[in-house]
Structure 1
Amino acid sequence: MNSSIFVKSAKGLILASGLIAASSVVGYAQDATVALGAQATVPLSSLYANAPTGSASLGGHTFDLSGGNLVSLGSGESVTYTGSWSNAQSVYLLLNTMNTYFWYDQSVVGNVTLTFSDGTTQSTDLTVGGNIREWRTGAGNTVTWTSDPATSYVWSGNATDGSAATIDMLTINLTGSTKTITSVAINNTNGWGSLRVDLAGLTVDPQVAQTPSCIRPGNSCNTDAAINSQAWKWQPVLPGATNVNPHAKNADKTNNGHKAH
């Protein structure tokens, strides 16, 4: 075997595989992180020992914790973040309560309200012991459990006093939605006591429209030669889509033009 031919072919295979790998990730949605900004005034470090910082991956999603602070809402207070998130499929919030004594169990103490560009809204109640709980799970006489699978425990460690502490993630699922979210509001509607609603992070998961990706060397999928080629593997397709090129897997070419016996 001619070794130079083998080396050249191997390089071609490596190049092709690299192009295929690169094309497979084009068009996939990524988390759209939201910075909490000036409305976040409570340092995470004042509550948590070794709290996550910066661009943090929690529960499989990315949150912007670079500000180092969380939003703490007292009774009747709210915070709103605006933007334009098209075809959003999920909203993820790092949410817990503070001073969550036993008597709040199963009480609705707030809500998360999504507003869409068409003027409609969607509200999710925050229920103690349902989808939200005390941040300092090592504290006594507080609600330290949840029952709603929409809430997951994404970080555990210690409070600055050494007791156990947690950061939880609430997922609001919008699968199949084609709407555009224009604002996310978190409201503490509790009318009595010292309970607070703490927001440590916010991320929206918009669905980005996928476009065909070319895996032919030189990005040459739209040349006359490529369009009329029998080499169906070079035609641009969306991940998981069917190749509709008229020459794709052409049945009359499966036997290389020879008559069937």
Structure 2
Amino acid sequence: MDASTLAKSAKALILASGLIAASTVIGAAQDAPMPLGTTATIPLNSWYIAPPSGQTLLGAHTFDLTAGNLILLANGQSVSFTGSYAGAKAAYLLLNSSNTYSYYAGSIVGQVVLTFSDGTTQATDLTIGTNLREWRIGSGATVDSLSTTAGAAQVWTGSAQPGMGGGTAVIDMLSLPVATAGKTLTAVALNDTNTWGALKIQLAGLTVDFTAPTPTPTPTPTPTPTCTMNDHAGKVSATTAKNVPHCIATGKAGEKADVTKATTPAAPRSDD
């Protein structure tokens, strides 16, 4: 194996090791759907006709709607969810309001608070007509619009049950990117801060997007160049491998052994 071939092999190994390290650092982003638990008591299908169910993909994110219920918060009520999500990237909530009459437009009626393992928090106000709106749109008496720049968007549309007034019904998703990368998310709280009227906030699903830690693979050791007997038997072969330190060292050792053998006098014979 000549010096240029060994150099190319070494570069390939270094590049491969670098790619392994990069994939370990980046990891794979994934959703962690959070069940709403026993606080969710309103069947989705009592409000919506054929709503999404089970482990479902909405707005490119996975939600656990297996229980089939939503949480309904009245004035001053709140709900929180705990967990541990290292490298949290964002939280996503399936969020709407009901009885969202036009006089609530522009009002802050709630807040979502993200809590991290270092004790810091990140709060987002819920403002009617900006990032929160009525679930049954088109009645003419409610706030049905959302801002296009506030992180909320419609992810499902269908029909409301006749007993709920019928007409078009929607589910919106509020996206809350984590402001500081690398933090561990430990809690998500939804607070209804409204103090008057019949407005309610409804949560149908919650998921957290985080980067799952990837075990660091054991790097493949760089192979030690090997030399044949001819590689270090004499000066000519050692010169051929002059750019390979291992062969140089081995060649010199071989040359030294040959010189020692040639210059060491033979032991005297017993009959001399």
Scaled by the length of structure 1, the TM-score of the pair is 0.71
Q: For residues 189-232 of structure 1, what are the alpha-carbon distances to aligned partners after superposition, in whole Å with 9 as ceiling and x for unaligned?
A: 00000000000000001112345679xxxxxx73665x87xxxx
Gaps of 5+ in 1: 1-23, 215-220, 229-251, 253-261
Residue aligned with 2:45, SS: helix
Residues 32, 209 of structure 2: 8 Å contact kept: yes
Shift of 1:116: 1.0
- In 1: Cα distance, 2:217 partner to 2:65 partner: 34
Runs of 4+ aligned structure 1 residues displaced above 3 Å come to: 24-27, 209-214
Partner of 2:17: none
Partner of 2:170: 166
- In 1: Cα distance, 2:160 partner to 2:65 partner: 17
Partner of 1:72: 72
* Map 1:120-139 → 2, pairs under 5 A: 120-139=120-139
| Structure 2 residue identity aligned to 1:190 | N
**Does 2:123 align with 1:118?**
no
- In 1: Cα distance, 2:140 partner to 2:77 partner: 26
How many aligned residue pairs are there? 201
- In 2: Cα distance, 1:211 partner to 1:83 partner: 21
- Max Rg structure: 2
Partner of 1:103: 103
Residues 27, 211 of structure 1: 8 Å contact kept: no
Gaps of 5+ in 2: 1-22, 226-242, 244-272
Partner of 2:147: 147
Partner of 2:51: 51
Partner of 1:157: 158
- In 2: Cα distance, 1:122 partner to 1:133 partner: 22
Residues 27, 211 of structure 2: 8 Å contact kept: no
Partner of 2:263: none
Partner of 2:19: none
Partner of 1:189: 193
Residues 98, 198 of structure 1: 8 Å contact kept: yes
Residues 111, 126 of structure 1: 8 Å contact kept: yes
Shift of 1:119: 1.2
Scaled by the length of structure 2, the TM-score of the pair is 0.69
Residues 110, 190 of structure 1: 8 Å contact kept: yes
In structure 2, relative to structure 1, the CA distance for the partners of 1:155 and 1:202 (3 Å cut) is same
